[in-house]
């Protein structure tokens, strides 16, 4: 990230995306389907300087789907199966409910339903869901000036912890290891984290981080 930021011309404004219709879905491509890693990746995407781009399904953590050859539509997959199964695994219908929720019973969609375990209807009712984490991160980005236009400044931390400051008083800390860690940040308050039970928690000196946990902190100074 430091190299990318350093290479950008003055006043350049980056765009970031984790998933798209060609590259596939980040919960599978980056996170191997792991829920903790997916939540952490969402925090990174939405808290970097620049404009984040969400692909449909990112907000609930939709994963790649294996599509049988006889249901493929993508010319790449049809031509190169099975060595390259194509891009349809990341193009399956949006999971509004566990049954799809967008068409009549008995109607076959363009591509088969994929990951419906992670769907909008269920996650709307779950205060700890990825959907509500996504909504709250977007709201925080909207309401906090540091996250509108604050510069990206690397924040020194222990090995395996990626941390950066946005603007004058917002620190983002991500533990991308399988071991607990902690980061000296001074005094502040956790505004939001992948573990929602910690929202509003005070920090005094250092913030502890569970494996694959991310937090956004309002620093006191």
CATH number at residue 185: 2.60.40.1180
Range of the domain at 88: 11-143
Q: Final residue of a domain: which of 83, 109, 143?
A: 143
Is residue 221 scored above 80 in pLDDT? no
pLDDT at 107 over 90: no
Domain boundary among 143, 170, 203: 143
User: Which is nearest to 184 in space by CA: 212, 208, 166?
Assistant: 208
Assess whether 36 and 118 both reside in one domain: yes
What mean pLDDT is predicted for residues 117-132? Answer: 97
> Do 106 and 158 reside in the same domain of the chain?
no
| For range 164-177, the mean pLDDT | 96
Q: Is the pLDDT of residue 106 over 80?
A: no
Token digits for 208?
């502890």
Helix (H/G/I), strand (E/B), else coil: 122: helix
| Number of other CB atoms surrounding residue 91 within 10 Å | 22
What share of the chain has pLDDT > 70, as a percent? 100
Whether 104 shows a pLDDT value over 80: the answer reads no
Partner residues linked to 15 by β-bridges: 51
Do 124 and 25 lie in one domain? The reply is: yes
Closest-CA residue to 68 (of 82, 49, 47, 50): 82
Q: Examine the domain organization and report whether 100 and 132 are in the same domain.
A: yes
Q: Tens of pLDDT along 12-46? A: 999 999 999 999 999 999 999 999 999 999 999 99
For the chain, what is the domain count?
2
Whether pLDDT at 71 is above 90:
yes
| 3-state SS class at 173 | strand
Mean pLDDT value across the chain: 95
Q: How far is CA 156 from CA 81, 97, 103, in A?
A: 46, 42, 50
Which range has the top average pLDDT, 1-5, 130-134, 154-158?
A: 130-134
Same domain? For 53 and 80 the reply is yes
Interhelix angle 130-143/35-47, nearest 10 degrees: 20
pTM across the whole model: 0.94
CB 42 within 8 A of CB 137: yes
Residue 68 pLDDT more than 80? yes
In whole angstroms, give the CA distance from residue 171 to residue 156: 11
């Amino acid at each position: 990230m430091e190299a990318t930021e350093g290479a950008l011309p003055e006043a350049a404004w980056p765009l970031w995306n984790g998933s798209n219709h060609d590259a596939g879905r980040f919960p599978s491509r980056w996170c191997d389907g792991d829920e903790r890693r997916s939540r952490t990746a969402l925090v990174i995407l939405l808290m970097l300087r620049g404009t984040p781009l969400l692909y449909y399904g990112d907000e609930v953590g939709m994963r790649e789907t294996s599509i049988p050859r006889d249901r493929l539509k993508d010319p790449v997959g049809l031509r190169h199966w099975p060595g390259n199964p194509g891009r349809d695994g990341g193009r399956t219908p949006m999971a509004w409910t566990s049954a799809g929720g967008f068409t009549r019973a008995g109607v076959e969609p363009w591509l088969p339903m994929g990951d419906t375990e992670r769907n909008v209807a269920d996650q709307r009712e779950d205060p700890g869901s990825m959907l509500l984490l996504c909504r709250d991160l977007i709201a925080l980005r909207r309401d906090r000036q540091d996250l509108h236009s604050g510069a990206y400044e690397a924040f020194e931390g222990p090995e395996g912890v990626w941390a950066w400051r946005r603007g004058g008083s917002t620190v983002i800390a991500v533990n991308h290891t399988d071991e607990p860690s902690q980061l000296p940040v001074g005094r502040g308050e956790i505004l939001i984290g992948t573990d929602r039970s910690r929202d509003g928690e005070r920090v005094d000196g250092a913030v502890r981080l569970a494996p694959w946990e991310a937090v956004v902190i309002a620093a006191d100074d």
